[in-house]
Structure 1
C-alpha cells in the first residue's frame, strides 16, 4: 500500500470511528445534581427529585404552546383502550352512591402541583380551578389554571386528557374531572404546610383521588421534617374518607424513603421503562408499592400541544387514572381496596414484592376488568393476596429503549467503518500488484 493510500485509509477510519462514537452515546442524560440541597421541609416537585425540583432530561425541550403529536405514545400502545372503557368506565360513576355520587357524575381527581392550564384543548372542559397557595409580586393570590412550568398540565393530561382528532394521546380516565390546586412555584418548589392544606381542602371538597407528583426527603433515618406530623395526619384523614392518595417515589435514582409516598395509606409509585424494569432515575426501597411507565411520557402542555418528559411525576398520574376508573366503577370500595386491586392485578415476574417495582407494573385493563363480584381483600399482614390463583410470569416487552437503539446504531456504524477500511486496504494492495505486473 502506498503512503498516500495508507493516509487516506487511516483518515477514513478516524472519521468513521468518531461518527460511530457519537452514535453510540446516549441521546440524553439527566442533569447533574447541584452541590447543595434544598432546605428540609420544602416539598420538591418534578416527581420528587430532591436536587432538581422539576423534570429531568426532556423538560428543557418543551415549548408552550407546542406541536400536536399525531401518534400514540408507547405507554398507551400497550393498553387496549376499548377494553379499558368497555363498560363505560372512563372516569364517571357507573352507579348511584348515596347523595354525593350520582351515576354519570365525573370522578374528581385533585392534582396538587404547579397548576393546570385549561387552554390546552384536551383539558379545556376538564379542570376545576381550586386556586393557589402562592401570591404574585403584587401580593395577590393566584389561580389554579395558570401553569408557567408545565408540570401540572402534563400530570393532568395523563389522567384526564379528552380525546381529540389528530392525536393518539388521551388520558386514561378522560371522563374524570381535575381539581387543580396550585401549590408549587415557577421553580417547582412548595411548602409542606401548603401541601397539607391542599390535601385537606381536596378531601373537604369531595375529591375521590389525590395525585401528588412531588416529595420531601426526611433528615437522617427518621421520618421527621417540617410539618411531617401534619402531612401524615392529612393523608390519614383522606384515608378515613376513602380518598385514594397516589404519590411519586422520587427521581434521585437511589434507595431511600420519600414522603408522602412512604406513608402506609399512600400508593407509592415508581417509574418503569419499556421493558417493565425500574427506570434508572426512579427512587426505590421497601416503600414502593407499584411501578408505572415514566420514560418518554407524552402529555399535554400549557396553551396547547404535547411534549415528552421523564420522571416518576408522570408514573403517579398513570396510576391515579386507573384509580379514578376503579372509583367510578366501585364507589363503595374503600381506598385500601382500590390500592389492593391495583397491586393485585399488576404485572409481576415473582411471587413477592421487591424494592424496585413493588408488586409489579400496573396493568390498567386487568385492574378495571377484574371480577366485579369479588371485592379485593385487604389483609393486615400484607397488602396483596396472591395465593388465590397461580401466578404466571408476565412476558417482558421487546421494545428497545433509546439507549439500546443508539448502541445498536453505533455498532453498525463502527462495523461498516471497519469494512470500508478493509476494502480500501485490500483495494490498494490489488492496485499495487497490478501496477507491478504492468511494469515487469
Structure 2
C-alpha cells in the first residue's frame, strides 16, 4: 500500500516484485485513497466540520445511531487508543495481514481516520463525531501504509470480515490495473455480496487528468463506489470519474480521528467512502431485514443531484444521510426495490458550476449595459446643461 507521496523507488520495487513472482494482474498493489499527511496525536478540533454542519444530527439519529452494526475497516489498522474510538473497536475480531497485531496498530493513521468518520463516539470539546456513533468497528490491517498492499491479501481480509459477521465493509483503497470478476479479489467481493454484506469502496484519487477509467474493487459488480465531492457538491478535482461511480460524498478538508487522540484534516476519496459506509450502518440498524442491495439502492436513490440522471463524476449524486433514513420501512422498501437503475431523486435547488457561471455572466453583461447607459446619460445632461447656460436650446 502506498500513500500519495510514496517514492518512485518504492513503486519500482513493487513492480519488479510483481514481475519476478509472476502474479501478473491478479495480485497487484493497491493504493490508499487519501491525499494528505497528519501528525498524531493531533489537536482536538473544537468546531463542527463542514460535512456535519449540513446534517441535523438529532433528525438523523431519531431512530438509530447504528447500535450493534458491525463494520469492517480494511485498511492500515485502527488505533483504539484514540478516546473517540476506544469503545468502538472490537479488537478481538480484528486481524493483521501485515504483522502479528490484532489490527489496532496504525502507523499510517489512515485507517483510524476512516474508522472515525464511520463510528467515532461523541466527546466533550469537539464538534466531530462519526455518522453511526454506536456501530462496531472490526479493524483489519491489510497494509502498513508505507509499502504496497496486495489484492490477494485484500481478498483474504474481505473473507475475514465476512467470517467476523461484518454487515458492512469499507475499503478505502484501489488499483487501476484491470481485474476480472474471476480474480481472487473479484471472487472475494462476490462472496461477501452473496453473504448479504454491503461493500463500499473509494473511487480513487487519479482523476485530475479527466480520464474515465475503472478502479478496483470499486468497479466490481455490486460494490457501491464512492467519489469525492467538495463544499459546492461538485466533484473534487482529484476524484476518479467513470461509469462505475455510484454516489459521491464529502472528500475535501475532512476532519477525522488520528492515532493517539485528537483529529486532523485530510482529503481524498478514502474519506468519502466511510461517510457512505456510516449511512449504510445506520440503514442496517434501522432496517435489519433489508438485503444489502436494498441498502445500496436506498443510498443511491436519496442522493442529491443538481442535474437529472446519473453522470460519471458524481454517480447518482451526493449522498444525503437524513434523506436516506427518512420514512418507514414499508415506504423505504417501495423506493428501494433493488433496481440497477434508480429512479432520480427530485432535482436539487442548488446550482451547478455551469449554471452559476452563466448567471454571473448574465449579471456582468447587464451591469455593463447599465454602466454604458449611465455614462451616456451623464454626458447628455452635461452637454445640454452647457447649451442652456450659453443660451442654446435642447434638440
**Common fold, TM-score beyond 0.5?**
yes
Q: Which position in structure 2 is the counterpart of 1:194?
A: 153
Contact 2:30/2:151 (<8 A) preserved: no
Distance in 2, matches of 1:344 and 1:269, equals 14
Q: Which position in structure 2 is the counterpart of 1:44?
A: 30
Q: Which position in structure 2 is the counterpart of 1:86?
A: 62
Change (3 A) 1:195 1:317: same
Distance in 2, matches of 1:75 and 1:229, equals 36
Q: Which position in structure 1 is the counterpart of 2:309?
A: 352
Distance in 2, matches of 1:167 and 1:107, equals 24
Contact 1:111/1:152 (<8 A) preserved: yes
Distance in 2, matches of 1:356 and 1:33, equals 29
Q: Which position in structure 2 is the counterpart of 1:384?
A: 342
Alignment size in residue pairs: 331
Contact 2:49/2:255 (<8 A) preserved: yes
2:41 aligned with 1:65 = yes
Cα offset, 1:331, TM superposition: 1.0
Identify the match of residue 95 of structure 2 among 124, 131, 146.
Answer: 131
SS state at 1:245 partner? strand
Identify the match of residue 271 of structure 2 among 314, 320, 337.
Answer: 314
Q: Which position in structure 1 is the counterpart of 2:362?
A: none
Q: Which position in structure 1 is the counterpart of 2:78?
A: 116
Which fold has the larger relative contact order, with Cα–Cα distance below 8 Å and residues 6 or more apart in sequence? Answer: 1
Identify the match of residue 207 of structure 1 among 166, 174, 187.
Answer: 166
TM-score scaled by length of structure 1: 0.72
Gaps of 5+ in 1: 1-29, 48-54, 93-105, 136-140, 399-440
Contact 1:252/1:282 (<8 A) preserved: yes
Identify the match of residue 239 of structure 2 among 282, 288, 306.
Answer: 282
What is the CA deviation profile of residues 29-79 of structure 1, one whole-angstrom value per residue up to 9, with x for unaligned ones? x869959675353342322xxxxxxx32x31xx211111110110011111
2:47 aligned with 1:76 = no
Q: Which position in structure 1 is the counterpart of 2:367?
A: none
Q: Which position in structure 1 is the counterpart of 2:327?
A: 370
Gaps of 5+ in 2: 16-24, 354-395
Distance in 2, matches of 1:377 and 1:161, equals 28
Q: Which position in structure 1 is the counterpart of 2:103?
A: 144
SS state at 2:62 partner? coil
Distance in 1, matches of 2:352 and 2:115, equals 27
Q: CA RMSD in A?
A: 2.1
